[in-house]
Structure 1
């Protein structure tokens, strides 16, 4: 199925659907049949899905549509939401995999800080790391 655009974040959600359709055994009909929001039973229309594949959908899909797409594509909802954010809001996220919950919470709080305060936070972290790697004297734990 030809697409109007390719590559880049500008068509990230459309690209997810095109990539799914390129997998062996996946047909447009099977995809539309499995694209159902598990929470509400909502099904996007076939015409809307065709437009999405061709990158012709101009408004960001609603949450039930994203849930339906995640189910139909067999992808985590977060991945579909990230693709929609990239395509419709020009918002690209960075995944912090492998970090413990405390570290992710710290990073989330950093986003709320005034940019002028970030050098101070970095200095505190660097001092803490340097102190941990410094040789310890007798009696220091």
Structure 2
């Protein structure tokens, strides 16, 4: 039981954070800062000059599949006027995920705040781990 609980507390959390970050600011829905076209003009990686096409930005806004690259991260950061570290954390969260402990500080914690998730919110997995601990304590193991 203890091994299961320890493994569960290291459970990796994932979500489409980069997609969500772009969707919050780009598109035709009310409250969005930029249209796809306007965002494409501003989304230019300052290091490489790369700029995603309006078609690629449209795919992101629509939640379709797309390939995340370092150049895309740089361009989206510039377009969103966010630090590259925050956008890179969103890409990491989307592609690889984070262990719970990694979400407590730095860029990942800032990202969670930006996409409306608080680090102190406990995932369902933590509730299961607590139940296992209580059962283990009750059985005297």
- TM-score, scaled to structure 2: 0.55
How far 1:30 moved relative to its partner? 1.2
Higher relative contact order (CA 8 A, sep 6+): 2
**CA-to-aligned-CA distance 1:22-78 (integer Å, 9 cap, x gap):** 64542221111101010111111211111111222243x111110000000111111
Question: Does 2:91 correspond to 1:77?
Answer: no
- Within 5 Å, give how 1:1-141 maps onto structure 2: 9-21=14-26, 23=31, 25-59=33-67, 61-91=68-98, 93-94=102-103, 96=105
Count of residue correspondences? 89
What is the RMSD of the two structures over their aligned residues, measured on CA atoms? Answer: 2.2
Structure 1 or 2, whichever has the larger Rg, is 1
| Unmatched runs of 5 consecutive residues or more in structure 2 | 1-12, 107-141
- TM-score, scaled to structure 1: 0.55
